[in-house]
A = this chain, B = another copy of it.
Amino acid sequence: MAGIKEVAEEAGVSTATVSRALRGLQHVNDATRSKIIAAAEKLDYPLTPVRSNAAQGRTNSVGVVAPYISRWYFSQVINGAEQALREAGLDLLLYNFSAMKGRERLFQHQLLKGRVDALIVISLPPTEEEFNSMLSLGIPIALVGMEHPECASIKIDDVGGARTATQHLVNQGHKKIGLMSGRPDDPFNFSVPQDRRKGFMSVLAENGLEWLPSREVHGDFTMHTASRAMDDLLARPDRPTAIFCESDEMAMGAMQALRRHGLKTPEDISIVGFDGHEMAEFSELTTIEQPVQLMGEMAAWSIMERLRKPNVIAPSLVLPTTLVVRNTTRRLTVAEQGL
């Protein structure tokens, strides 16, 4: 493997000049630069060297930390981040932290330490202690789907999105509205389920609609549990005419359960989801879309900006969500509303 030295020799210059030329720095004669680039290409030397980070104290890579990497939401965000980082010539180091348990999690910063120039943390609800551990790394951190006073953050307005979804149902004349929410005993203390639930409840209250605890069931944001939870709900008396599901996957699960029970959507029960999962489009699911990929990209841009100017304070961005009305919700007839 050719090194900078060989290139320097081949081009008849010093290694320092090669370094400067290849990194596009100023104060290099165009002719010299051309000569060097030619030599580098001839010797198959990377245009943008990374072999030794010792000299500049940078790794040219950013860590992406997430509790899952194969679930829809996370893989989308990662995908967005990857693209933005690659364009900027930064590498993406993947860290799945859910797989780690107990003691290992405590040593997160040991894993990260010195390996990355910055961190993108996706919906990983860390303890305050873990957070401090990350902050103590002294590198820029961007949070996706969370907030913290000392970090940049990219998120959506979960409360607002849930409000829009619920209001949509109310506008269609629904009065008995059910809720498929995240588990109250969620192992991670995501704020997402709480926020979406809060938005839901507030709209109900504002419209003077009665809330019955028997209209709520819980899932863990997967189709499977949602489907089972729906069985539960359907077995109860005074069935809702519409249900807000806190995620598209849970909505899909709910719909599957309805089918199993011989019920139709939206004829028998209207369903609204939340996320904008690709499956939603295909299943004609009415849902609240969030710009998942974009969140990853923006997180990447955010840290790259801070890498450039370490002093600017980290912005906290709230991205918009969109109500996409498809075919799983319908307006109740006046007669039905009277029931």
Taking Cβ atoms with an 8 Å cutoff, the residues of A that contact B are 1, 44, 46-54, 61, 64, 68-72, 75-76, 78-79, 82-83, 86, 91-96, 99, 107, 110-111, 113-115, 136, 138, 222-224, 227, 253, 256, 259, 278-279, 281-283
Q: Do the beta carbons of B223 and A114 come within 8 Å of each other? A: no
- Within the assembled complex, what's the spacing in Å between the Cα atoms of A44 and B54? 19
Known interface pairs A53-B53, A93-B93; 6 further A-B residue pairs with C-beta atoms within 8 A, sorted by A's residue number: A82-B96, A86-B99, A93-B94, A223-B278, A224-B282, A253-B282
Neighbouring B residues of A54 by C-beta, 8 Å:
51-54
Most chain-B CB neighbours within 10 Å: which of A47, A71, A110? A110
Contact status A96-B83, CB under 8 Å: yes
Chain B nearest CB from A205 CB (Å) reads 34
CB proximity of A257 to chain B, nearest CB, Å: 10
Considering the chains assembled together, what is the distance between the CA atoms of A91 and B86 in angstroms? 17
Contact B224 A281 (CB under 8 A): yes
* A–B pairs, 24, beta carbons within 8 Å: A46-B113, A47-B107, A49-B114, A50-B115, A51-B54, A51-B114, A52-B54, A53-B54, A69-B75, A69-B79, A70-B72, A70-B75, A70-B76, A70-B78, A71-B75, A82-B99, A83-B96, A86-B95, A86-B99, A92-B93, A93-B93, A94-B94, A223-B278, A253-B282
Of B48, B69, B82, which is within 8 A of A110 by CB? B48
User: A113 to B91, alpha carbons, bound, how many Å?
Assistant: 12
Whether the Cβ atoms of A93 and B91 lie closer than 8 Å is yes
CA distance A182 to B51 in the complex (A): 41
Cβ–Cβ < 8 Å partners of A223 in chain B: 278-279, 282
In the complex, what's the smallest C-beta–C-beta distance from A315 to chain B, in angstroms?
Answer: 26
Least CB distance from A295 to B in Å reads 13
Cross-chain contact of A70 among B79, B99, B282 (Cβ < 8 A): B79
Q: Which residues of B contact A283 (CB under 8 A)?
A: 256
- Select one of B99, B114, B138 contacting A46, CB under 8 A: B114
Task: Tell me the bound Cα distance from A49 to B78 in angstroms.
Answer: 26
**In the assembly, what is the distance between CA of A92 and CA of B99, in Å?**
15
- Shortest Cβ distance from A224 into B: residue: B282
Chain B residue nearest to A81 in the complex (CB): B94
Residues of B within 8 A of A83 (CB): 96, 99
Min CB gap A97→B, angstroms: 10
The answer to whether A82 touches B69 (Cβ under 8 A) is yes
Complex Cα–Cα for A71 and B75 (A): 8
CB pair A94 B82 closer than 8 Å = yes
The interface residues of chain B lying within 8 Å CB-to-CB of A49 are 114
| A282, B227: Cβ atoms closer than 8 Å | yes
Residues of chain B contacted by A278 (CB below 8 angstroms): 222-224
Contact between A110 and B282, CB atoms less than 8 A apart: no
Contact residues in B for A136 (Cβ distance below 8 Å): 44
Residues of B within 8 A of A79 (CB): 68-70, 96
4 nearest CB pairs, A to B: A52-B54, A70-B75, A70-B79, A46-B113
Highest count of chain B CB atoms <10 Å: which of A47, A86, A259: A86
| Contacts A51-B53, A86-B99 given; does A114 touch B78 at CB 8 Å | no
Report Cα–Cα, A28/B259, bound state, in Å: 67
